[in-house]
Structure formats: structure tokens, C-alpha cells
A and B are shown apart, each in its own frame.
Chain A
């Protein structure tokens, strides 16, 4: 009986693992089958050379480069704000906050994590309205606002991941620092946070992915279908971004080939997030290697 349960459980886990592989594989295969013939420099830059588009500021009207540049900028901006802030908040909550404060803040973080992204977008949008009516009549939606709202969207994941990673460390590791005469802050920065870095990384990966794919936030805070054929030019301009362009393409395409461009953009977005994940993994592993060596 016991043996059968074990076998069943093993089989179920195996199936689940294979299932995930299958779903992801099928997704990529489908996207590729619809867009493989489009994958070339032309997809990105149209008839402009990549060099002229990326460095020369030449406008690209026939390619997805502006959207790629927009998404990259958005992700970089929002993570630069959300990751350090989230890690710091997570450390504070798990290691410094008092019991009551921790309970309250943990609840707030949960509320924030449960907020639909459309609400976050509306929040950004209303903030601009408020600014316009008060002391910034010229305020308008744009890159910075979108990045800020995205940062707010991913902040709770970052806080939660950091907090869980640190609170999940074994008691023995927690006792080690103080037993050696380290101050609390030394123990936190030299032992606990480095030991928790893998858990923190998984929060960062989740945040990067969420910031890259979210559409609801950016469509209310500054994303547009065409932004003059260039990537973001300043923090206050409107911008193109892959998820929004995919959405627009899907909603408004006239021919199958136009829709195929949408699938190509989806594939590019997938590759882009995968590269960001890989990048952050390498960063974490190299930091960890330095700490462990």
C-alpha cells in the first residue's frame, strides 16, 4: 500500500514536470511556427541598418525595435527602483521590525501583491490628473510614470521573496553571527543576506518577468502604438513596449501576416525575459561564489 502510494506520487511528480516542459515547449513551438519566417534583422529594423537605428537615432517605422528598446528601458528602470527597495524592505521587515509593525506591514504587502495591475495603472493615471489640476499643469503620462507604477507592481514580490528567504534560514545560521560576536547588522549583511541570495534572486526573476510582460499598467501610463519610430527619448515621453504592441496587433490586425508579426514579438519578448533571467542568475551566482570562496 505504502509502496503504491510512493509510486503514484513519483509518477504524478514526473507527469507534472513533463507537463510543464510540454506546455512551454508547445508554446514556443507554436510561436516559432507562426513567426520563424519573420525572424531577421528586418523584423527589428525594417529597411534601416541596426547600427543606424540603435546608435544613429534613425527612425524605424517598419520594425519592432522601438518596442524592444521601450520594454528594455522600462524593465531596467522599474527594477532599478524596485529590486533594491524591495530587498531593503524585506530585510527590514524580517530582521528589524517589531512584532506588531511586522504583522501590519506584511498584511499591507499582501494587499499590494493582490492588487490587479489595471488598478496600478489607474493609480498612475489619476496621479497625473491630480498633478495637472494642482501644481504641475504640464504633467503627462510617460516613461517615468509607467516605470514607477511597474515598480510598485513588482515591489511586493521582491519584499515577500526577500522576507521569506531570510526568515526561512535555519536557526543555526541565525545563531552563528551573534555567537561569534558580530553585531546584528553584521550578521545580517555578512551571513544572513548572502545565505538567502538564491531566494532573493527568485523574487528578482519574478519581478523582471512581471515588469516585462505587464500591459495593463503601461497602457494607462504612457505606452503608445507608435512613438515616432524610436526607442524612449526621455523620461517623460510616450513610448512603445512589446506587450502593448502585441496587444494592439492582436486587436487590430488585418491580415494573417500582421498577426504573425505579433507572434514574432511574443517570441522576442519571451527570449528577452529569458535573457534577463539568465543575466540575473549569473549575477547572483558570481556574487555567491565570491562570498563562498
Chain B
């Protein structure tokens, strides 16, 4: 059964400032859905509304509905019965700048695997290997799992973060400009990975570049000042004139 996330009538305030107004979006397995828009338009906030990461900040108020339908069961992220820790584990998140724990590569996995999933020591190794293979990092790090994660290159760190999210067996992936801090080759590598992963997970990815969006996205929502101002499908995303106009209008 296909997984879908549907956001309906979402409003978010930070203090008195309304950051998102009446946002309706949807993203599903098999498609890569991109969020684009000028900086400060609310992309990160929208992404974080899905796994309730905005709640970490004080003074946030959220209204609306975020329904995650996974394997036929639907959870409302803002419903009374939602288990937030579980929701966040279900929605794996990768940040804009690689957010590794300042520990060894292995420990980056063992900390969440042991404490979030409660895995036993004997179950860790195979899980770590599988996750690292999924992001094509295994061959690069298998000899040095004990090395500090911060000694990896930016692209490797970002793949490590992706692997760490995957190791928790999420149902959905939320990626916040995952290639913004990377060079050309590392960017292509992550893009390639994301395209492969969309077959298994519904992916919502903030993108900082229209070029990237038209290259890999199947659908894109354009945000401006907290509102979705345009929805682009695969066909629109291959339309040079439309993209040109968007670039003029937004950036």
C-alpha cells in the first residue's frame, strides 16, 4: 500500500508572527516533492510542521491537520492521540547542514538505535551496515567506523545523516536543503540517492535551486510569505519559460 502525507489548512505562528497561512500540500511515495521559495518564506517551518519539530521552540502555535497514511493506517500529527516521539521517528529528517553527533561514526547510529529503538548490542552491526550500504557509504567507512564523524567530508556526513535517519526505519523522509552546503559532485551523488529512495518513501525536500528541482522533482510547491502560491507538476518543471518567470519573481 502506498504511503501519503497530506497537510491541510496549516497555520503556524512564531509568537505573533504568522509564518505559514492556510497551507495545503500533499506528498506521496514514488514521487519526489520539492518545496521552493525565497528564503524566509516558511519552507523549513513547513517541513518541520510535518514531524512537529517546530514544537521544540517556545512560542510556537500550530493549527491545521497533518495526516500521515502509512500502510493503510492514518495518524494525525496534531491529533490528541499522536505519540510525538514516535511520529518523529516515523518521519526521518535530514538538516540543511550535516548534523552529525560529535562522536564516532558508529556512535551516531548506536545512540539512536539503542535509545530510540531499544536494539540490543548484537543487533546493531547488521543494522548499521545495511543503512550505510543504502546510502552507498559503507565501502568508504567500513574500515573506520570508530573514527570521528566530523572527519568525514561534507557529502559523506550528509549521507551519514541520511543513513542514520534510514536506520530508524522511517516511513517518510523530510529533507531540508540537503545539498545546500555541498559541492557539485557531492550534490549529484545525494540527488541520485534521493531519486532512488523516493520509490520506498514519500519524500518532501526543500530545495534551494530551481535547477535541482527541475532535475529531480516530480512535483513542487512554491512558497512565498508563508503561502503556497503555485503548484508545479512534472510537466511544468520541464518548462524553461515557466521556470525563468519563477526565477525572476521569487529569487
Contact = CB atoms under 8 A, between A and B. Distances in A.
A233 B18 CA distance: 67
A261 to B, nearest CB: 49
B118 to A, nearest CB: 11
A181 B112 contact: yes
Interface stretch (A22-30, A125-133, A170-178): A170-178
B111 A191 contact: yes
B242 interface: no
Contacts of B53: 175, 178-179
A174 B95 CA distance: 12
B163 to A, nearest CB: 12
Centre residue among A99, A180, A186 by max chain B CB count within 10 A: A180
Given A175-B53, A179-B53, A181-B88, A292 B103 contact: yes
A233 B162 CA distance: 60
Given A175-B99, A190-B111, A180 B104 contact: no
A173 B108 CA distance: 12
Contacts of B168: 180-181
Interface in A186-231: 186, 190-191, 195
Given A291-B103, A291-B107, A293-B107, A182 B148 contact: no
A292 B148 contact: yes
Interface residues of B, number: 29
Interface string A3-29: 000000000000000000000000000
B85 interface: yes
A181 B95 contact: no
A172 B95 contact: yes
B89 interface: yes
B86 interface: yes
Interface string B50-88: 010100101000000000000000000000000001111
A291 to B, nearest CB: 6
B170 to A, nearest CB: 9
B102 interface: yes
B101 interface: yes
Contacts of A183: 85
A180 B164 contact: yes
Interface in B107-164: 107, 111-112, 115-116, 146, 148, 164
Given A181-B168, A182-B115, A191 B88 contact: no
Nearest to B85: A181
Contacts of B115: 182, 186, 190
A186 B116 CA distance: 9
A293 B104 contact: yes
The 10 closest A-B pairs by CB, nearest first: A181-B89, A180-B112, A292-B103, A181-B88, A179-B93, A181-B116, A172-B99, A181-B85, A186-B115, A176-B99
Given A173-B102, A179-B88, A186-B115, 9 more contacts: A172-B95, A179-B93, A180-B88, A180-B165, A181-B85, A181-B88, A182-B112, A191-B101, A293-B106
